[in-house]
Structure 1
Amino acid sequence: MKHLSPSTLDDPLFWAEKGIINFQPIVNARSLRVHGLEALTRLPSESPFASIFELLDCAYARDQIHLVERILLTKAISRFSRWEMAHRVRLFCNIDNRVFDHHDSSPINIINHLKDSRLMPSNLCIEISERVPPDSDEKLARLVELYQKFNVRIAIDDFGRGYSGLETLTLVNPHYVKIDQFFTRHIDTEPRKAAIVQNVVRMAHSLGLLVVAEGVERPAEMRAVRDAGCDFVQGFLIARPTPHLADLSPSYPSVDTGRAPGHVTRRIGDLIVTPEPLRSGAPIAEAVARFRQGYDLPFIPVTDEDGFILGAVREADIRHLIFGDYSSALLRNKGIDQRVDAFAIRLPVGEISFSQEELVDAYIAAASDTGLIMAKDERYVGVLTNVALLQLASERAVAIARDQNPLTALPGNQSIQHHVAASLAAGERRTMVFFDFDNFKPFNDKYGFEAGDRALLMFAEQLARFQHNHCAFIGHIGGDDFFAALPVDAEEGMAAVADLLARFRSDVQSLYYHRDVAAGGIWSQDRFGKRRFFPLLRASAVVMPVDFASCRCDIAGILRRLSGGKAEAKRAENGIVLQSSCGQCDVDGDGAASTDWSMARNRRLADDSPPQRA
């Protein structure tokens, strides 16, 4: 290409033909199986265009953008079709929004090329880019609807960084939302990003959409986006883009996620019902007949020929065809689209790898009056009905209530141990905190247990705000002992804890008489019956950063080491001590330890008892 003619030197069509198609895997966040490949175009080094975006801008200026996008899309489809897994996964391709404004933007040519390549339209997913806004929202919506009628999937790319993400989400009714890498980068250490992603996931799942986390580069980010509920993951951690199909794998189990793939629990499996779905293209009369025959669910799932979930036909939406006076005439009307596809709507979908808690949360977020369609890698498995989900929700509520502390209503020992166990299994990084009150007994003795309860409730309320501000897990071990785990590093964790302790130390003075506040404390008997002066009530904290991916300890060792810094924290001027990582913790001589913190606390109280005389 050294001797280019002036006419081709900056010709977008010429350089589109010379573009090199790279593929990057998109994998299931839990099973790590490939769900699809994204096609990414790279230009040769000789190209006068600095990037593919610059080429597209030039093509738009010359009214050639529709031709350039067609070249790139057909090249990607042709290359993708040669991969042995192509018919089982999806090809994700970006299309510039400005294409949708062009009069020659019909998808017919692309659909025909898919068929020529022995692929189904459902194998293709068009990514709506928000790099530049479309000139006409109406044209965009109409063309997207046309693609969807052919069963092509739609995704919103770079969600959160474009011109009008929520507006586009409403306008095009996509199948996927791809969260921009800005929000996934360092999500494991930036609570605000984690909170945003969690809320986007809840919103998407409530609308029956799937979520792809883009730009994941580190195992900690992978664990964080998976825990936030993202369905699929894409990024350098999985694989870098490659032009060589032979470099691609059907799955990527070597990715260090720290957690085994999810599976259906026996309880959830027992509750799933499996009504036969309707197939895409089937006449709506099939749905009408089933409802007339006493079908006992409010909807019938709809799938394509490969079992991918397209939506569902609800009885309420076709009631006029089932019971109406003119139902027979309507079913014979040639002017009405009689396929089930025309009546199918998107309903919330739950993956079978979801935990009981995740399924209940998805159901609650969706505010569904129908239940959840259950899927495995987006293929139909069955249905969890409203009744089944209410049973799961009730069982979870009972379990939570049993474990809650009766005074503060915070999670108790079982929930704390479950959280630590989950973090250990997931290999996450957490900064863990053990809180304990200083001078609590003399305060109780002088002011009474009601005042002591008010102090505990005051701290619990401040912990609740602490939880909200730092995306923390909090719990009440018992008595005046509390627990927290934060998704931040030790330095940020220490600063957050110091602020919490200072606020409590100030607020708790409202529970004392003015004269005691002025004196800086009270006189009372110690544990040995000796009268002495005690400073005002405060909380102290042991802060311990833990990298669960390299931790050598069991749950007991982790919790024991955390609470072991209590005495040092009480002696510290600010009430905080930084404990060394649990990777360095000691193991008892017999290797055994209780995982019940209340038992450990009772042993500590016994250690504080008066010495016995000989």
Structure 2
Amino acid sequence: MSLQQELAQIIKHESLNAVFQPIYATDKCELYGYEALIRGPSDSALASPQMLFDTALECGLLSQLELVCRKISIARFADLELKGMLFLNVSPMIFLQTDHPHGKTLSYVKDSGLLPEQVVIELSEKYPIDSPSVLQKALMHYRDLGFRIAVDDLGAGYAGLKLWSQVKPDFVKIDYYFINQLHVDPVKREFVKSILNLGEKINARVLAEGIETEQEFEQLQDLGINFGQGFLFARPESYPKRDVPAVILNYQRSSLYLPQLELTASSLLQPAQTFHMNTRANDVVNYFHKHTNVNSIPVLDGKKPVGMILRSDILELYSTPYGRALNERKRIKEIMNDSPVIVDASTRLDELSKVVTAEQDDQLQWHFIITDRDHYIGIGSIRDLLRQLTQQQIKHASYANPLTLLPGNVPIYRHVDRLLSEQRKFYFAYFDLNNFKPFNDVYGYSKGDDVIGLVAKLMQQSCLASDFVGHIGGDDFVAIFERDNWHHHCQQILSEFDNEVRKFYSKQDLAQSGIYAKSRSGDEQFFPLLSLAVGVVAPDVTVCSSHHDIAEMASDAKKQAKKFGHSAIFLSRRTKPTSCADIPQESGTIEATS
């Protein structure tokens, strides 16, 4: 059978497989949607998508193949009950075919119970054409039907930028080539920044594809690219992942935890000589000659900073033949650097670091200008910034639990005290393992550490980036929620733990649903499988004064949860510490089990 005949049979019998790769809104730690990809029969010469579509193009069957691909992808997306947006690849070549049927994609979507607004038509540049007017007309047709539009593989070929101005797509996807090794390639970074700027101007969301390393991911976050997909997160699969990967959760959590321990730009403030922008250049040069330790001078217009004079720049002007004669009477506004780094005194040090490292002029890295409500108050040095960041990283590491690297007691207490001081409603969930000591005695401390690691992983995966997850020590964890749907996430942790923890037991112990070990009194005793007890309190923030009050109530709630002997959530109705005289003798409770 020839390839053309085989392809015809594949299309006729719709013997294609749809796989899906997750797309994440990384700043919100949310699964945003999936890109549908097609694979040929595994035992066929047309198994790879490259061979499949190249053959279809050569044989004049591209239109028929694309329709089958869309039909299968849409139906499979609906069958799997996947959430979010569905990104469908569409080749521009089919728009040149006069016999390509219209309305099929919309009918497939409606037949599957989806809405056009859930589907993104992703225009691929793999087979470019020279008829932008045809593309524009076709894409506007899809948009009129309610579909969203994405330009795929920007930069891989074809006049993508021209299409931007004509269609104004909802999404622009940056090709893998520009993402690969982005963190070590300044040219690629500049390209990505320019695309992001253009995307913001036309209100298009910029999506990076092909993210494979944490360094690439972190660089994209620093640049402000908040939509992404790639092997770092998940590979295309027939049964794709539905959760947010730990690498995204951990990155966003660290950006929340660190500011609690960080200082702001005001901590770096130091006085400096300033000059008005109309000062003569010669006066500034004379000042530099008299003060050999000064490298940077802020330039002001009244109280507002407008530039920076650098010693090396102005002395270089004077060092050229006739340099003094040509420049000594100039106003410094004519020769200053008019784009210095200017930050508000309240800027966190982590944000400040991103700002100064984004600058391309190495000499500007000596100092930056600090303002208060746009008025000049002083300067800061990069050396001091690096010193502070290093000290804070050491401090943060010392506060983290060494086993899980989650925030330990100090960050937990500070977070609770801050919520109380701001009188922000929250739920404090205290997690504790049931029967952990006998498990350690039988299976050893190494296995015990693995179980603790499992709890940490499940809590990070199930909680959102806005939730605070901490590790008090041993088998005690906390999660702090500022939202009312906390119960769903706690229940998810318990359910997944009950399933995963079975992997740590032998077949014999699983068969008897527990282990025999010595009790605290030294007697042989049967202990059920490990489970999680969660005691939850919703404190009255107008009455509770510190984390000590919360710890007391949460500890009592945890004890109540442990009485059930299996994974359970116990929500206490107590909202005030025992020191308050108006607390009733009987504290009501609500209990939920896994």
TM-score, normalised with respect to structure 2: 0.49
> With structure 1 as the length reference, what TM-score do the two structures score?
0.47
